[in-house]
């Protein structure tokens, strides 16, 4: 029997928006989504706008997420932010291991794993990104690559594994306008769930949420979100405007 999983749609604003722009966008999304309780909605503004966006959504079910954090709790780590600092401003989620950080900032699976453990210890729900590059897909290595990322990034979590949200984000689909087809997404999501089951139990894997990310937009969201193993979206470009983000959230209802 298929376990009920509440869909989760997160907006990854990346390095965009001033505080004033972020506040406007959050206020528009809040107004449009008033009354929604059927989809978990997460906004992930840049660090500088977290507090201001948090203040806007504080009286709603919309939750705040960060885009990165450090694995240590405190200390001499110039330029870094800890899980406790994010909790301090009422963050509930943190995106970890995004492909832009893996590719541009040398984040390995081992490092992502440290961050995931620190996030869980700090009472944040990690959204852990995995996904193959175009050459890897062309070589039909997507299962090997993504399976390895899941196993290594989420190693050693024990009973806490089910607090993790996995985001399948094929790198070739991010910011390109070319999304994975619904069939490609479903195949990889089912594979990720099988991998999670092998790492824990079928019951745990059935309860975990796996988001799709990579050029998700109003035109393709409904079809992607209708797949049995697609439990939500991690939305970049289309989350920068209230109208397109809200349409995607509605497609998840």
Does 68 bind ligand PGA (CB under 6 A)? Our answer is: no
Q: Which is nearer to ligand PGA, 46 or 213 (CB)?
A: 213
Q: Which is nearer to ligand PGA, 171 or 200 (CB)?
A: 171
Residue 194 near residue 215, CB atoms below 8 Å: no
> What are the backbone angles phi and psi of residue 148, rounded to the nearest 5°?
-65, -40
Number of residues interacting with ligand PGA: please give it, by CB under 6 A: 13
225-244 per-residue burial string, b: 16 or more CB within 10 A, e: under 16: bebebbbbbbbbbbbbebeb
Does 244 bind ligand PGA (CB under 6 A)? Our answer is: no
Does 225 bind ligand PGA (CB under 6 A)? Our answer is: no
C-alpha 19/C-alpha 166 separation (Å) is 28
C-alpha 35/C-alpha 41 separation (Å) is 12
> For ligand PGA, which stretch binds (CB under 6 A), given 107-115, 139-147, 236-244, 245-253?
236-244
Does 169 bind ligand PGA (CB under 6 A)? Our answer is: yes
Residue 133 CB contacts under 8 Å (≥ 6 apart), including other chains: 145, 171, 172
Does 157 bind ligand PGA (CB under 6 A)? Our answer is: no
Q: Please list the active-site residues.
A: 98, 169
Does 131 bind ligand PGA (CB under 6 A)? Our answer is: no
Tell me how far, at minimum, the Cβ of 67 lies from ligand PGA, in Å.
9
Element (H, E) at 111: helix 109-121
Q: Which residue's CB comes closest to ligand PGA?
A: 236
Contact pattern from residue 174 through residue 193 relative to ligand PGA, giving x for each residue in contact according to CB under 6 A and a dash for the rest: xx------------------
Does 237 bind ligand PGA (CB under 6 A)? Our answer is: yes
> For ligand PGA, which stretch binds (CB under 6 A), given 33-41, 66-74, 208-216, 218-226?
208-216
Give me the half-sphere count of Cα atoms (radius 13 Å) on the Cβ side of residue 158. 4
Candidate list 208, 236, 251, 252; residue touching ligand PGA; CB under 6 A:
236
Contacts 24+ apart (CB under 8 A), 246-250: 246/29, 246/32, 246/33, 247/218, 247/221, 248/9, 248/216, 248/217, 248/218, 248/221, 249/9, 249/33, 249/36, 249/39, 249/41
Binding site for ligand PGA (CB under 6 A): 12, 169, 174-175, 213-216, 234-238
């Amino acid at each position: 029997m298929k376990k009920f999983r509440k869909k989760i749609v997160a907006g990854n604003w990346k390095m965009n928006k001033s505080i004033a722009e972020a506040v406007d966008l959050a206020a528009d999304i809040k107004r449009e989504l008033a009354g929604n309780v059927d989809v978990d909605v997460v906004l992930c503004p840049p660090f500088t706008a977290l507090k201001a966006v948090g203040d806007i959504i504080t009286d709603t079910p919309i939750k705040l997420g960060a885009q990165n954090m450090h694995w240590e709790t405190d200390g001499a780590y110039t330029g870094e932010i800890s899980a406790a600092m994010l909790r301090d401003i009422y963050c509930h989620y943190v995106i970890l291991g995004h492909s832009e950080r893996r590719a541009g900032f040398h984040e390995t699976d081992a490092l992502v794993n440290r961050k995931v453990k620190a996030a869980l210890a700090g009472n944040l729900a990690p959204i852990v990104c995995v996904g193959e590059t175009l050459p890897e897909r062309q070589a039909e290595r997507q299962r090997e690559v993504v399976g390895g990322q899941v196993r290594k990034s989420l190693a050693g979590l024990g009973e806490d594994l089910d607090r993790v949200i996995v985001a399948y984000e094929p790198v070739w689909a991010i910011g390109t306008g070319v999304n994975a087809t619904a069939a490609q997404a479903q195949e990889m999501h089912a594979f990720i769930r099988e991998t999670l089951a092998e790492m824990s139990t079928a019951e745990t894997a059935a309860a975990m949420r796996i988001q799709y990310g990579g050029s998700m937009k109003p035109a393709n969201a409904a079809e992607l979100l209708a797949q049995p193993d697609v439990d939500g979206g991690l939305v970049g470009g289309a989350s920068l405007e209230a109208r397109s983000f809200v349409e995607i959230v509605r497609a998840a209802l």
